[in-house]
């Protein structure tokens, strides 16, 4: 986490149009205690906050639609219920961040680090995860229909997701805990184990499916 002096030297490329969100952000940048930003329920849509350090910040139920967040740091940040539709999180650090019940529809997370992040009940349909590090992340009830997981890497991920024929799995590798729901024109088919491995392999991915998470 960067120091407060370093943080005050960072400035958004474009402030949010929402007055309350802009004022909260300005106040936070002037603080010297190094604490995270309290942005609960505020609207940062279409702002450009690329490169910002939002470690341990609170964006619960916040509006981040179309927000520029390239290279931003959300280590242990709480984004539960936030709307990040169309947001650009390229190369962002999202380690241990909480995205439960958030919306990532059409968002770009290429090269992002989602190690040990929590994604429960997330709509990530049409999102791009090209080269994303998903190791140890928990993906439960996540909609990945039409998402692009090209060269994404998993490592013993909880992976109870929804995918379809438009989900790109080229180069997707690692290990996951299944099963997943595959949406087809005929309906929904649950795939796990060797069947899921074969389905992913036919789409140029290479994933080992672990039947169930071992007891801790």
pLDDT tens for residues 166-202? Answer: 999 999 999 999 899 999 888 899 999 999 999 999 9
Mean pLDDT to the nearest integer, 72-84: 98
The beta strand positions in 31-131, using DSSP E, are 118-120
Residue 214 CA to residue 57 CA, distance in Å, equals: 32
Residue 48 CA to residue 64 CA, distance in Å, equals: 10
What's the mean per-residue pLDDT of the chain? 93
**Which H or E element spans position 4?**
helix 4-9
Ordered domains of the chain (ranges, CATH): 1-216 (2.160.20.80)
pLDDT in tens, 94-131: 999 999 999 999 999 999 999 999 999 999 999 999 99
What does the pLDDT read at residue 178? 80
What does the pLDDT read at residue 184? 86
Contacts of 97 (CB under 8 A, 6+ apart): 74, 75, 76, 77, 78, 79, 114, 117, 118
Contacts of 94 (CB under 8 A, 6+ apart): 74, 75, 77, 109, 112, 113, 114, 117
Query: Phi, psi at residue 98, to the nearest 5°?
Result: -105, 110
Mean pLDDT to the nearest integer, 60-69: 98
What does the pLDDT read at residue 8? 54
């Amino acid at each position: 986490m960067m120091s407060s002096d370093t943080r005050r030297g960072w400035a958004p490329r474009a402030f949010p149009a929402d007055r309350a969100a802009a004022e909260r952000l300005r106040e936070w940048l002037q603080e010297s205690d190094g604490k995270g930003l309290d942005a609960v329920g505020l609207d940062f849509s279409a702002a450009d906050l690329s490169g910002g350090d939002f470690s341990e910040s609170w964006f619960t139920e916040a509006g981040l639609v179309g927000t520029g967040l390239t290279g931003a740091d959300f280590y242990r940040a709480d984004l539960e219920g936030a709307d990040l539709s169309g947001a650009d999180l390229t190369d962002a650090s999202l380690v241990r961040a909480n995205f439960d019940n958030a919306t990532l529809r059409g968002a770009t997370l290429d090269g992002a680090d989602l190690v040990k992040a929590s994604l429960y009940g997330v709509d990530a349909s049409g999102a791009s995860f090209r080269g994303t590090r998903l190791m140890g992340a928990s993906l439960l009830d996540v909609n990945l229909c039409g998402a692009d997981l090209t060269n994404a890497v998993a490592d013993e991920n909880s992976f109870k997701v929804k995918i379809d024929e438009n989900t790109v799995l080229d180069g997707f590798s690692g290990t996951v805990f299944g099963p997943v729901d595959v949406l087809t024109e005929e309906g929904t088919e649950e795939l796990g184990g060797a069947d899921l491995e074969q389905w992913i392999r036919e789409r140029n991915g290479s994933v080992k499916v672990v039947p169930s998470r071992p007891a801790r």
